[in-house]
Every structure is written in C-alpha cells, then in structure tokens.
A = this chain, B = another copy of it.
C-alpha cells in the first residue's frame, strides 16, 4: 500500500494537520517541524494524491491526444513535439492511437471526459455522428492539429493543403513534366484528401494540362499503399514522367516500386512527397517534399490549446494557417534541361 498522510504524521511524530500545513507551504510552521515532516516524506516515499488535489483544484494538467497512427513518420514527429511543448508547460499527455477505429476513439473521448482532461488535441478528421455529437457537447477545450474537419466549431492548426498541393504540382510542371501521376489520400478526408486533390487538379488546369485519369490513384498514406498504387500506375503505358504522392510514406513506397521495376528515380521518373518527415532524408535518392512545418505545428497546437484552457485574452478565435515550403532534394529531375 502507498503510504498515507497519517503514516507521515506518525513517522514524523506530528499531527496530520501539521503535515498538511507543511505540504501546503503555509507560513508560520516551525523549521524543525518542516524538517521532520520532509524527512518522514522522504523515508516513506509519500506523494500527495494528484487525484485528491484535482478534485479541489478542478485542474488535472492532462491533455488528451487522438493520433491516427503513431508509427507514421509524420504523426510520430508531431506527437513528439506536442509532448515536449506540453511537458515544458507542466502538462502531461494521455495518448490514444486510433488506427481507423471509431469505436475506440469514442471510448477514449469519454475517458478523456471522465479523467477531466484540461484539453484535447485531435489529429484526424473522419468524425462520425456519434463523435461529432460528443465533442460538440463537451465543455473541454478541443483543438484540431494538421486537419480541418467540415462543419465544426473548433479551431485548427494547419497549412493551406490546397495551395501546398498546387505548389507541389506546379514545381513538377516547371521542371518540364507534362505526364504527372497522382497518389492521393482518402477522399473522405477534406484536408489531406479532397483539398490536396483539388490543388493538383487546379495546377494542371492552370497550365493547360489534361487530367491523366489513368495515372491517378488513392491510397491510405502508408508506404505499402504507395507501393501498390504505383504498381497500378506503372501498368498504364506510357507511364508518367513524374508522380506526386500526398504523404512521404506513400512517396517512399512509390520510389521502392519504381526501383523494383528496374527503373530509376529521378532519371526515369521523378517523385515528390508531402509532409517533410525524417523519412525524406533516410532514403536514397533523398526525397523532394512539400513540407509541413511539423515541429512548429506541434508547438503552436499546444500553445493555442493552452490559451483556450487558460481563457487568455486574445486567445485563438480562428484557424492558424502555417506556411508550407517546398524542399528540393534528389528525387525530381528537370526534364527541360535533360538533367
């Protein structure tokens, strides 16, 4: 059994009230009593219950986080930054890794509610009606990070996914590519599915390039699906000279598929990814990618959530849109100059 306050009192030879006064840092407690109590606390390994104190303070310093898949390079990096920023501010994380399980998400949101977390961060946007109902009823501050679901009142910390996809596609066009394949996300997702696809389509249209229907596929953001979608695209001859995948993991899957077909990146096929995760530097050729400012996104998410929790004046009233940035590495070839 964990030692209780009365055990401390007994060990120190003082009353429970005295222990309590020492713990609360009250003035006018004699130094020798303080020392005796502190020694008893150390000897017994006593810690005041966070649970009991939470009931009084009405604050738990917990943040609940819903992450779609912690094994993805994007989410593990943003989670790491969220944890770091939260910890620096004295908050601890309850983490739920949902992997497309809405029942689990609903259950976890209820746990967050029961645990009286001070705030919630959600990093996906496939909200079913039950989840939508629940979060709309909650009185806990909620913020979305990297996604912007439709029809909800909460603030998001995101990039402009439409513009970022537009710019990635335009980069390939400016390198002289005209047959540009696309490996998209889940089209039920607005941010990373629909918005990025719309940006791709618009960039092609603005440059007078017809949509290459045979070379457009949709995956689930993971490496394996990038591989499989690329295989289907390569089966459609003539193959494209470039492909844009909307996650780095899928782009790496596509590069591996191209390699396994005896073709070279970028000599035979240019590949551009999306996210700017650490995977871009781990593969050869190094992956050109449309970067989200992942570290900043994690930090700003926590900062904004804390503003909501602490109801600061001038707290966030609207979405925070961070800057995307193309980082050119070795996976795209300039076909105009025949490099």
Number of chain A residues close to chain B: CB under 8 A: 62
Checking B62, B92, B96, B249 against A87 with a beta-carbon cut-off of 8 angstroms, the contacting residue is B96
* Integer count of this chain's copies in the complex: 2
A11: interface (CB < 8 Å) = no
Given contacts A139-B1, A259-B284, contact A97 B116 (CB under 8 A): no
A99: chain B residues at CB < 8 Å are 80, 84
Q: Flag A92-129 by CB within 8 Å of B: 1 or 0 each.
A: 11111101000010011011011110000000000000
CB-based contact A139/B2 at 8 Å? yes
A79: interface (CB < 8 Å) = yes
Min CB–CB distance A99 → chain B (angstroms): 8
Most chain B CB inside 10 Å of its own CB: which residue of A76, A84, A107: A76
A251-281 contacts to B, CB under 8 A, are 252-253, 255-256, 259-260, 278-279, 281
A107: chain B residues at CB < 8 Å are 87
Given contacts A134-B45, A139-B1, A256-B284, contact A84 B71 (CB under 8 A): no
CB-based contact B83/A116 at 8 Å? no
A77: interface (CB < 8 Å) = yes
CB-based contact B54/A51 at 8 Å? yes
Min CB–CB distance A279 → chain B (angstroms): 7
Min CB–CB distance A229 → chain B (angstroms): 16
CB-based contact B87/A104 at 8 Å? yes
A24: interface (CB < 8 Å) = no
Checking B50, B80, B255 against A69 with a beta-carbon cut-off of 8 angstroms, the contacting residue is B80
Checking B73, B92, B259 against A111 with a beta-carbon cut-off of 8 angstroms, the contacting residue is B92
A49: interface (CB < 8 Å) = yes
Q: Flag A56-67 by CB within 8 Å of B: 1 or 0 each.
A: 000010100000
Chain B residue, CB-CB nearest to A110: B47
Chain B residue, CB-CB nearest to A1: B139
Chain B residue, CB-CB nearest to A87: B104
A205: interface (CB < 8 Å) = no
Checking B52, B95, B278, B283 against A83 with a beta-carbon cut-off of 8 angstroms, the contacting residue is B95
Q: How far is the CA of A34 from the CA of B133 in the complex (A)?
A: 22
Chain B residue, CB-CB nearest to A139: B2
A28-72 contacts to B, CB under 8 A, are 44-45, 47-55, 60, 62, 69-71
Chain B residue, CB-CB nearest to A226: B282
A69: chain B residues at CB < 8 Å are 80
A/B interface sample: 25 pairs, CB < 8 A = A45-B134, A45-B137, A45-B139, A48-B114, A49-B116, A50-B114, A51-B55, A51-B115, A69-B80, A70-B79, A70-B80, A71-B73, A84-B97, A84-B99, A87-B96, A87-B107, A93-B94, A93-B95, A223-B278, A223-B281, A260-B284, A279-B282, A282-B282, A282-B283, A283-B283
Ordered nearest first, which 3 A-B pairs have the shortest CB separation?
A45-B137, A50-B114, A76-B76
